[in-house]
Structure 1
Amino acid sequence: MNPLVDIAQKTCYRLAITNYCGEGGDGMEEYFELLQRSPLFESVDAEGMRHILHCLEAYVSMGGKGEIINHYGDRIVWAGIVLEGKVALIAPGSDGEESSIRLAVPPESFGCSHSCLQNQPSQVTVVARKRTKILFLKLSKLLRREAMGCRYASLVTANLLKQTAAANLAQGRRIHVMSQKSIRDKLLLFLEQSRQEEADTLSAMNRQELADYLGTERSALSREMARMKKEGLIDYCRNEIKILSEN
């Protein structure tokens, strides 16, 4: 067996299904306000939400901290949107070590590209970092011929294209950060990127998750942050970090 798959499958929990979308989106109304803040459903009204959730066979699952949503190597059919909690996308290494690729918090999504293409093996394991509720959608149905004449499907498809473009840009920013040689340079660049984007990404990360994102050890990151604070370059409290000096 591929050692990466073996590592990813050591834990075999699955989220428990709690609710299926009924005819016309019945049973999903409590999530509409949150979903309308998701890039995937931008400009979709309540009527459109009912229609598209039913068409995409939406259902909600929930589970506790540490439970597996998707394993590395799984053939992905469903995309997920985080309704509650937080999930981590983790890439297992051949040596047994794991690296966090990114986090997803409400109302962010994961698995969209795989869901569109179908039957493509996942390159990450998706794990709940706390008690989590996920909305699953079969996005491949947006690409069917019958969906082309639906204005709601067309709107969500356009949103999906924009979301995919944004994800590509985010990946480019991550590559830029990882290309820096020192922990200090990686952290300063990441902080500057977050400030320019006015993003909440940093506040959603704990110290271990930040270390994983930067590709370094938590202890080494903590030591470097302490030195930078002493030098007056940054200040921090818990998960909040800010740049004090441009030099």
Structure 2
Amino acid sequence: MFKKWLKVFSQCDLFKGINPEELNLVFNCLKPKVSNYEKNDWVAVAGEKFTGLGVVLAGEVVVVKENAAGNRVIIAVNTPGEMFGEMAAFSGEGVWPVSVTARTACTVMFLPAGKIVGNCEMLCASHRLLVTNLLEIVSHKALMLHRKVEYLAIKSLRGKISTFLLENYKKMGKPTFLLPLKRNELADFLNVSRPSLSREMCRLRDEGVIDFHRESIKIREVNALRNMAE
């Protein structure tokens, strides 16, 4: 039943180095569950029982965290081949620390964490490689969360926006690119209000630092952004 997702699996870091035949053996051992969701459905809810590591097979999901006041902060937007839940899988809490919603209609595969690190019935090398890949992913995610803390530590809204735009500029390698987040999602990610974000973006445009149309951004003055990000 997993053959139609082979292209997605080849893009997923969790299955790096595992060929389709070996992957089939791993799935026979893990017995993952595949679920479909409509747009805006809850895929996972913070505080509810943990259901396993999620791998997005189709569509997109948004990973969010809410504070006691109900304010939402976006942790990540995951597309096919990306996963969520790996940081909570072995915490011992047994519940979701974050909520996950369907940004679009999507399909998600859940892998039981206990079976990933448990003894493999076939003692296969591909299962051991899966565990190694997972450790690398968790380490990378820890570094990403550290970066998120750095964003929260930036006091000025202009500094947060400049840092975000510079990081995407470096990632894309060109001054014109599409923002990976919608405006309201970017506001949640930066932990600022949507109106404040829009006003500051317009100021940067009026000053000739950037230009934008919907999700498309063009950086006109890279050095100016760098100065504001410091």
- Superposition TM-score tier, normalisation by shorter sequence: 0.7 to 0.9
In the alignment, the residues of structure 2 paired with residue 147 and residue 40 of structure 1 have an alpha-carbon distance, to the nearest angstrom, of 20
In the alignment, the residues of structure 1 paired with residue 220 and residue 20 of structure 2 have an alpha-carbon distance, to the nearest angstrom, of 44
Counterpart for residue 15 of structure 2: 41
1:54 aligns with 2:40: no
In the alignment, the residues of structure 2 paired with residue 198 and residue 173 of structure 1 have an alpha-carbon distance, to the nearest angstrom, of 18
Counterpart for residue 213 of structure 2: 237
Q: Select which of 45, 56, 62 maps to 1:88.
A: 62
Deviations 1:187-239 (A, max 9, x none): 1111222333449x973310000110001011110110011011121222222
What is the one-letter code of the residue matched to 1:162? E
Deviations 1:161-182 (A, max 9, x none): 1111111111122111221111
1:103 aligns with 2:77: yes
Counterpart for residue 180 of structure 2: 204
Contact 1:118 1:140 in 2 (8 A): no
Counterpart for residue 2 of structure 2: 28
Q: Select which of 194, 198, 207 maps to 1:222.
A: 198
Alpha-carbon RMSD across the aligned residues, in angstroms, is: 2.1
Q: Structure 2: where are the runs of 5+ without partners?
A: 225-230
The number of aligned residues is 220
What is the one-letter code of the residue matched to 1:230? D
Q: Return closer, same or farther for 1:242/1:41 CA change in 2, 3 Å cut-off.
A: farther
Q: Return closer, same or farther for 1:230/1:183 CA change in 2, 3 Å cut-off.
A: same
Counterpart for residue 19 of structure 1: none
TM-score, normalised by the number of residues in structure 2: 0.88
In the alignment, the residues of structure 1 paired with residue 148 and residue 65 of structure 2 have an alpha-carbon distance, to the nearest angstrom, of 15
What is the one-letter code of the residue matched to 1:135? M
Greater RCO, 1 or 2 (C-alpha within 8 Å, sep 6+): 2
In the alignment, the residues of structure 2 paired with residue 87 and residue 187 of structure 1 have an alpha-carbon distance, to the nearest angstrom, of 23
Q: Return closer, same or farther for 1:204/1:193 CA change in 2, 3 Å cut-off.
A: closer
TM-score, normalised by the number of residues in structure 1: 0.82
CA shift for structure 1 position 54: 2.0
